[in-house]
Amino acid sequence: MKFWQPILEAMESLAANKLRSSLTILGIVIGVAAVIAMLAIGAGAEAEITGSIEGIGTNLLFVFTGGDDNVEISNPQPLTLADAEAIDDPFSAPSVFSVAPVIQGNGEVSLSGVTANTQLTGVTPDYSIVRNWTVTEGEFINQGHMLGRSSVVVLGVEVAETLFGRKAGVIGETIRIEGQPFRVIGVMEEKGGGSFGSEDNVAIVPMTTAQSRLLKRASSDRVDMIMVSATSAESVLSAQEEISQILRSRHRTEIAADDFTVMNQQDFLETASAITGVLTIFLGGIAGISLLVGGIGIMNIMLVSVIERTREIGLRKAMGARKRDILIQFLTESSLLSLVGGLIGIALGWGIGEVVRLIAEASDTALNPQIGLDAVLLATLFSAAVGLFFGLYPANRAASLEPVEALRYE
């Protein structure tokens, strides 16, 4: 038997029952499209999250209150401005370039009846240096604003556009933050939205002003986070160790019981990749269930086909067809069903990914589904395996029919 003969016979057999074959293929199409789309969305989310983290800077460190969740700490101490000053000491931490303590919270900004909820951030002048973030108009917070607890604010472009309808020519205007008047002294450069929220939806005020009027803490010296810029990307690990030693000494923590956490960009990338990896596997697994259902549909249609063609099978075996020939014939039909469904499913999955991208773009959500060659190959091979696996039993059943019994079948 020539290798192309079973394919032609399979096409003729499937074409004889167009509607039934189409519905069976539809199950595979939906399964493959779901797998492709879910893997693409997961890959796009991972790329966006890692891109956002990498965009922060390769030499940036974050110091948070709280240590390892697996270690019980009897009396954890919060981070303070004094801690930040100690870290900024070049003799104690030569690998540290600049330090910026931060307090954060959410608040309402308003202007002439227009209101918006935004992130309020209290910072010191070094914040723009650590974040490598500059103003496009006006000036940033300076030491004079800190000492005078000035009612000044630097706006992100999103807040400026919401309140003023523009992102230029707003210097000197007065807005209200939590009902209190603040003079706009600057507008930050556009950073864009990220998976952790838009960095442009922010109102930055002097640390001293935030502590006394907007974001009060239990202690006036307390901060939520300390951002640290290392002297170079190569000195990040050295700076991380220096910071840890300083805080251990100041907080007098026990060995292996730090009440703080120092994270670098690689830590964030590993955490984000682990989370998105689990999410992608979860979504792919759910989509794989629909492909499994499609495979069951193939088995069902092939069993029906075996019953309908029992006499034909008996006649072919009586005329000399071997068991292997019958087996190949029915496996070819099931494989052809899954292959055609897989190819259509790949195209549909790509289309779903494009629709998701357009919807995300229209809603200003940073998500660009990425269809990789690995996802396409995985879906194609899986669909082919489904066709072979679920077609094996019906094909074996057909090949095992006795010619005499098959010819007598009504």
pLDDT digits (tens, 9 = 90+) for 187-216: 988 876 544 456 788 889 999 888 888 887
pLDDT, one tens digit for every residue, the chain (410 residues): 455 666 666 676 666 677 777 777 787 788 888 888 887 887 777 777 666 655 555 678 888 887 655 455 556 678 888 888 888 888 888 888 888 899 988 888 888 888 888 889 999 988 888 888 888 888 999 999 989 888 899 998 888 888 888 888 889 888 898 888 999 999 988 876 544 456 788 889 999 888 888 887 767 778 888 888 888 777 878 888 888 888 888 877 776 667 788 877 766 666 666 777 777 777 777 777 777 777 777 777 777 776 666 666 666 666 666 767 777 777 777 777 778 888 888 888 888 888 888 887 777 666 777 777 777 777 777 777 777 777 676 667 666 666 655 455 45
Task: State the number of CA atoms in the 13 A half-sphere of 101 facing the CB.
Answer: 23
pLDDT recorded at residue 183: 92
pLDDT recorded at residue 315: 67
> Which distant-in-sequence residues (6+ apart) come within 8 Å of 72 by Cβ?
none
Q: How far is CA 258 from CA 78, 221, 252, 332, 350, in A?
A: 12, 20, 9, 64, 48
Global confidence as pTM: 0.58
pLDDT recorded at residue 6: 62
pLDDT recorded at residue 44: 78
Degrees, nearest 5: CA angle 188-88-143: 45
Residue pair 330/398 in contact by the 8 Å Cβ criterion: yes
| Residue in the structure block whose two tokens are 């790509």 | 350
- Pairing relation of β-strands 152-155 and 180-188? parallel
pLDDT recorded at residue 206: 92
CB atoms within 10 A of CB 85: 11
Residue pair 223/81 in contact by the 8 Å Cβ criterion: yes
Q: For 168, phi and psi rounded to 5 degrees?
A: -135, 155
CB atoms within 10 A of CB 188: 26
Degrees, nearest 5: CA angle 68-84-254: 35
